């Protein structure tokens, strides 16, 4: 077959090699517009894993590449005058130019034709001459533009500015990050050695900082001199160099995130950066290019037609590309938002940086560098005021809010049981909450408990509006306090327009089949077409509901609850004041966010007056309506939290959604945690994260990275009331107290957990 590789970068050259290796009879030509040795850029990095794949494909070129590798195991982070080093990361680097020269040599040796200084004007013309065209023409692929209608590329130009420089200063002991605060804002560098005397030095900053420096108007020379001044204390007098002669101006770029809907057209197939890009901060562009080349070469052998080979190639590679792009997106967003984290202690900042792509978990970091992680865990425990001098996971650190001290960071998230009788909790609730309190969580939050009969969601919802409710709750609270060391929080709410609906396991949010009661809300709208239209609340209604919240809070205080949570999320009454989707009021309670927050804050202030001063109050919010700019977006949630913080709310329980039937949530592991992260780190209020958090590793990484103070688990606690004790056993932590009657079960579980980890070690 006559095959053209359009582009002599890693994708084009490695395709030529991989194809020739499998079938030397193929006639393969690589077209490259540049000269053989005239490459822009400096070094590239590979992880050990990538290198295994390359070695399996072609041991000869792998060996040649290996001989030129610079290796390092450490990552060093320079930040606020400290240099924190962690190890076990296993990377290697090579000059891009050396890599390309070695690949050229190997391709030639295998009989490929290499045609340099040969710019291809149109892939279509090439496709007429050759049976197969591998379009590996890089980030700004002309082929991709030529067939844009078919490939349908989505190109997302990211916010930060970066420039790819080199230096002869040595960074040979670690992959080095440097964060420098300048008069114009923060600027940072990603630096790594790639041969004996040169290192890559990528400089990055926000667009605002870049503008203030005036980089846009500088030539490359001046831009390098300016960067040298910024990083002078790390450069030891060495210069920063640019070799981006192909770029005009100062050579600063915005990273384009590229993904195409399809990768092939007739006999043309996209590969490498032309098909999809992964941000340089996860160092995987070259890996993607070379692994895709292997895959395509394999399918050319195994499949009988080009069409089938393309289909298989796309199928196999797209998942891998999307996986990497998702990690790369997390990583690039971390750098885009880095100024949010620049108040963090260097230990936490370092952890946040290392786990930014979410590919490296807490326990994976322990495998890489146990000492470093244990140092970070000890730091976390010290900061949390842990009494014993032990290294423990962050989830087992205490937490203090006002006078309430939690033994650990796990919260049983509020979950309606729909088992109340006329608002009164029953023995079901005693057993249900009693079990969860015995199960080891530091805090058990009871379900949304309603301040009036008409404020209930369903006829099965619990209330706090009658003396028998107070008595029944007191019995539960007393049990929790007498028999466990968990704390218990009362969530108070009013259903608003989502009231008078069926039990959770019937048809959720649908009106009752009979016996509906009238509902009210900020504005006269219905939750859905099927639900009744709510009556718009007037001032008298607002006063009455406020007084009901106050009366319920007084009852909760008498019942002995340790904490109160006001439910301002999920589309219920107070939430429906906050979101513009359901608050259409023209008075001072509608319109601006400040106005929409007025009533929930009135309730908070009134409740705070009667709630014991030594006990905390939380507010649960929906940080995202998931409908785009029409509704609450995470940036609005930051403003909401700021108002809560100013009002004296102790902690914000950051949930999301359930405020509109139009919502289109993007689910995933820990999917709401970014909202908690943003709120906590932009306002400084304590937060609870919730939503699809189910593994101890999730919890530990959220806490250690400072993305929340407490972590709520809902469904995992339905499946296993003893989630915390089981997690501790699995992790080899023996520091969580079990109820004495269960000691035999505890000891067996410890034994069965294998004791892979020793009991707690002293620092
Ligand atoms: C700042 C920065 C740092 C990076 N760091 C790393 C890293 O550490 N590790 C890593 O793996 N990746 C890294 N990358 C990404 C990596 O450089 C690319 O992902 C990789 O080079 C992609 O290979 P490719 O063959 O698809 O494209 P390229 O390497 O861009 O090759 C495309 C080739 O096609 C040629 N070409 C284009 N159009 C034509 C035409 N019309 N006719 C003839 N020839 C043409 C170009 O001259 C070029 O040589 C980084 C990228 C950037 C921007
Ligand atoms: C059965 C059930 C009932 C729930 N009831 C409430 C509730 O009363 N109040 C509340 O704020 N959230 C309630 N939620 C939401 C949970 O507290 C939690 O935010 C959500 O389930 C996501 O967490 P998870 O992924 O750990 O389940 C409920 C969730 C479930 C599954």
Question: Exposure pattern of 390-404 as b/e (b: 16+ CB <10 Å)?
Answer: bbbbbbbbebebeeb
What values do phi and psi take at 499, rounded to 5? -85, 175
Low-confidence ranges of the chain (pLDDT < 50): 756-763
C-alpha dist (Å) from residue 746 to 412, 671, 756 = 21, 33, 16
Decide: 202 in ligand 1 pocket, CB within 6 A: yes
Decide: 272 in ligand 1 pocket, CB within 6 A: yes
Q: What is the pLDDT of residue 759?
A: 42
Q: What is the pLDDT of residue 739?
A: 96
79 is catalytic: no
**Residue 188 half-sphere exposure toward CB, CA atoms < 13 A:** 21
Q: Are 212 and 226 in contact (CB under 8 A)?
A: no
Question: Would you call 281 helix, strand, or coil by DSSP?
Answer: helix
Catalytic residue among 234, 299, 572, 722: 572
DSSP conformation letters of 101-170: HHHHHHHHHTT-EEE-S---S-HHHHHHH-SEEEE---TT-HHHHHTHHHH-EEEEE-S-EEEEEEESS-
Separation of CA 322 and ligand 2 centre (Å): 30
Q: What is the pLDDT of residue 390?
A: 79
Residues in the chain: 763
Separation of CA 690 and ligand 2 centre (Å): 9
The best mutation among 450, 457, 714, 721 to test binding of ligand 2, ranked by most ligand atoms within 8 Å of the C-beta, falls on 714
Decide: 416 in ligand 2 pocket, CB within 6 A: yes
Separation of CA 448 and ligand 2 centre (Å): 10
Q: The pTM is what? A: 0.91
CA 498, 500, 506 angle in degrees (round to 5)? 90
Tens digit of each residue's pLDDT (9 = 90 or more) over 188-202: 999 999 888 899 999
Separation of CA 9 and ligand 1 centre (Å): 6
Tens digit of each residue's pLDDT (9 = 90 or more) over 232-284: 999 999 999 998 776 677 789 999 999 999 999 999 999 999 999 999 888 88
Decide: 198 in ligand 1 pocket, CB within 6 A: no
Q: What is the pLDDT of residue 39?
A: 67
């Amino acid at each position: 077959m006559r095959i053209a590789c359009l582009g002599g970068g890693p994708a084009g050259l490695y395709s030529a090699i991989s194809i020739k290796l499998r079938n030397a009879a193929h006639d393969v030509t690589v077209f490259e517009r540049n000269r053989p040795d005239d490459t822009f850029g400096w070094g590239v990095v590979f992880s050990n894993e990538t290198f295994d794949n390359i070695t399996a494909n072609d041991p000869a070129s792998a060996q040649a590449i290996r001989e030129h590798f610079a290796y390092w195991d450490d990552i060093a982070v320079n930040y606020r005058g400290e240099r924190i080093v962690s190890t076990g990361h296993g990377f290697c680097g090579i000059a891009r130019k050396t890599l390309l020269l070695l690949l050229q040599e190997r391709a030639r040796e295998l009989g490929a034709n290499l045609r340099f200084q040969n710019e291809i004007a149109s892939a279509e013309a090439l496709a007429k001459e050759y049976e197969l065209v591998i379009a590996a023409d890089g980030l700004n692929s002309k082929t991709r533009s030529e067939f844009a209608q078919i490939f349908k590329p989505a190109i997302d130009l990211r916010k930060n500015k970066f420039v790819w420089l080199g230096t002869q200063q040595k960074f040979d002991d670690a992959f080095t990050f440097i964060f420098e605060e300048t008069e114009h804002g923060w600027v940072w560098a990603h630096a790594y050695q790639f041969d004996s005397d040169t290192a890559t030095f990528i400089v990055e900053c926000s667009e605002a900082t870049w503008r203030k420096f005036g980089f846009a108007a500088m030539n490359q020379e001046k831009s390098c001199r300016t960067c040298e001044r910024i990083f002078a204390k790390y450069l030891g007098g060495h210069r920063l160099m640019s070799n981006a002669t192909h770029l005009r101006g100062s050579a600063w770029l915005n990273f384009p995130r590229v993904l195409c809907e399809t990768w092939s057209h007739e006999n043309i197939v996209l590969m490498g950066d032309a098909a999809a890009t992964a941000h340089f901060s996860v160092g995987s562009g070259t890996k993607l290019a070379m692994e895709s080349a292997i895959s395509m070469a394999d399918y050319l052998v195994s499949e009988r037609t080009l069409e089938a080979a393309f289909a298989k190639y796309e199928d196999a590679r797209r998942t891998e590309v999307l996986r990497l792009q998702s990690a790369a997106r997390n990583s690039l967003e971390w750098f885009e938002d880095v100024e949010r984290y620049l108040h963090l202690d260097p230990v936490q900042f370092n952890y946040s940086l290392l786990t930014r792509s979410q590919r490296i978990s807490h326990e994976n970091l322990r495998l890489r560098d146990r000492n470093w992680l244990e140092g970070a865990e000890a730091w976390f425990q010290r900061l949390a005021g842990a009494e014993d001098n032990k290294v423990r996971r962050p989830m087992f650190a205490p937490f203090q809010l006002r006078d309430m001290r939690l033994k650990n960071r796990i919260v049983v998230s509020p979950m309606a049981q729909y088992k109340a009788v006329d608002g009164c909790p029953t023995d079901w609730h005693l057993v249900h909450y009693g079990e969860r309190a015995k199960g080891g969580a530091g805090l058990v939050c009871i379900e949304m408990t309603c301040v009036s009969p008409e404020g209930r969601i369903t006829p099965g919802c619990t209330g706090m509006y009658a003396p028998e409710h107070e008595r029944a709750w007191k019995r539960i609270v007393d049990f929790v306090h007498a028999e466990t060391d968990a704390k218990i929080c009362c969530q108070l709410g009013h259903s608003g327009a989502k009231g008078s609906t069926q039990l959770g396991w019937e048809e959720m949010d649908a009106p009752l089949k009979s016996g509906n009661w009238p509902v009210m809300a900020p504005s006269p709208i219905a939750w859905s077409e099927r639900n009744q239209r709510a009556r718009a609340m007037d001032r008298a209604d607002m006063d009455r509901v406020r007084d009901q919240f106050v009366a319920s809070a007084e009852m909760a205080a008498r019942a002995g609850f340790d904490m109160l949570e006001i439910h301002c999320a999920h589309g219920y009454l107070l939430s429906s004041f906050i979101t513009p989707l359901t608050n259409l009021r023209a008075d001072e309670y509608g319109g601006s966010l400040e106005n929409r927050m007025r009533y929930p804050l009135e309730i908070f202030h009134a409740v705070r007056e009667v709630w014991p001063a030594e006990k905390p109050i939380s507010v649960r919010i929906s940080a995202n309506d998931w409908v785009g700019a029409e509704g609450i977006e995470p940036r609005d949630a930051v403003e909401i939290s700021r108002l809560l913080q100013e009002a004296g709310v102790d902690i914000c329980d950051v949930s999301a959604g359930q405020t509109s039937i139009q919502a289109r949530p993007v689910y995933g592991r820990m999917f709401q945690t970014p909202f908690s992260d943003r709120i906590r780190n932009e306002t400084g209020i304590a937060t609870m994260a919730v939503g699809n958090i189910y593994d101890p590793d999730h919890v530990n990484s959220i806490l250690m990275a400072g993305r929340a103070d407490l972590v709520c688990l809902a469904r995992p606690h339905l499946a296993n009331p003893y989630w915390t004790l089981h997690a501790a056993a699995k992790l080899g932590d023996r520091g969580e107290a079990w109820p004495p009657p269960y000691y035999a079960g505890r000891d067996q579980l410890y034994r069965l957990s294998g004791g892979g980890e020793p009991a707690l070690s002293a620092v």
